[in-house]
Amino acid sequence: MNATYTLKHLKYFISVAKFKHFGQAADACFVTQPTLSAAIREFEDILGVQLLERTKRSVLVTPIGEEVLKRAKDIMVQADSLMEMARAKGSPLNGELRLGVIPTIGPYLLPQIMEDVRRHFPDLTLYLKEDQTERLLAALKEGQLDVLILALPYESDTIDSFTFMQDRFYCALPKDHPLAKKKQIENQEIISENLLLLEEGHCLRDHAMAACSWEGARNINEFGATSLSTIVHMVANGLGITLLPEMAIKAGITRGTDLVTLPLSKNSPPRDIGLVWRKTSGRKEEFTLLGQFLKEIS
């Protein structure tokens, strides 16, 4: 009878390809290095191809290894989905849940909801990862994360989503600014202002520009800020104005400054906040249940 590969072979190979180091890969898989090395050699023998190039200082994935790696990741995602489906049919929202969240949501929303989530789902263990949207989606696709909290919409044929809240934008400006005495800000009133936003790659930048219809604006400062806190301090020092999401203001991001925060006009679109997961996930019902719960408490 011919030998065949197992999920163990796939797991070990994916780990070595990730770390490019047998020792680190073995640690990540909680096995000894000789055990992992033997399994990789066995996997290569079963397939009849060389998956890795080994030297004393480096490990490289061969061209055929890259093809096998892509399929191995797909198989592991499907295998995880099978287990997820079986577990979800038992008791929903229990066990481990790997949740990804973007930096312009995590620090402001999670402190508000985590206590309620823990109280209502005591058997759920959450592992959190904060990163930018594109990297979180890549981790979701590869099965490293189970579900994400993102600013929507995000169009993709491979994901499902559930919107559980909307987050309005406010204009933050110094208290002595000519617009500071208004009750709300109209888009045309700030078109000539020096607008400070996060650097390219942050989805909040795109949502803020859409909120004030500034897709083609020329007065957006190109300073490469990577956090809302940095921008708030720049505005507090008179370097311009900015747009902040409501959840950040409620969390106290302007506390300790003299900034005034005023809502944009009601015709300015908010950003939608929702859960995102793989369409192939076996936990769709669980994630929908979680989304409905978050909608009730947000």
Taking residues 119-136, what's their average pLDDT? Answer: 92
Q: Is 70 exceeded by the pLDDT of residue 256?
A: yes
Detail the DSSP E strand segments found in 51-209. Answer: 52-54, 59-61, 95-101, 124-130, 147-152, 159-167, 169-174, 195-198
Note the pTM of the prediction, 2 decimals.
0.72
Cα dist. 251→109, 145, 243 in Å?
A: 8, 26, 15
Q: Is 50 exceeded by the pLDDT of residue 27?
A: yes
CA angle 159, 99, 244 (to 5 degrees): 85
Q: Is 50 exceeded by the pLDDT of residue 50?
A: yes
pLDDT for residue 90: 58
Cα of 195 vs its chain's centroid, Å: 26
Taking residues 88-101, what's their average pLDDT? Answer: 80
Q: Is 80 exceeded by the pLDDT of residue 56?
A: no
Q: Is 50 exceeded by the pLDDT of residue 1?
A: no
- Best CATH choice for the domain 169-269 from the list 3.40.1010.10, 3.40.50.720, 3.40.190.10, 3.50.50.60: 3.40.190.10
pLDDT for residue 148: 97
Tokens 């009133």, located at residue:
189
State the fold for domain 7-75. Answer: Arc Repressor Mutant, subunit A (1.10.10)
CA angle 51, 145, 137 (to 5 degrees): 85
pLDDT in tens, 132-179: 999 999 999 888 899 999 999 887 888 999 999 999 999 999 999 999
Per-domain residue ranges for the chain? Answer: 7-75, 91-166+272-297, 169-269
pLDDT for residue 89: 60
7-75 against 169-269: fold identical = no
Residue 65 φ/ψ, nearest 5 degrees: -65, -35
User: What is the C-alpha separation between 214 and 265, in angstroms, rounded?
Assistant: 14
Q: How confident is the model at residue 193 (pLDDT cuts 50, 70, 90)?
A: confident
Question: Quick one: CATH architecture of 91-166+272-297?
Answer: 3-Layer(aba) Sandwich (3.40)
User: What is the C-alpha separation between 190 and 194, in angstroms, rounded?
Assistant: 8
Q: How confident is the model at residue 15 (pLDDT cuts 50, 70, 90)?
A: very high
Q: Is 60 exceeded by the pLDDT of residue 217?
A: no
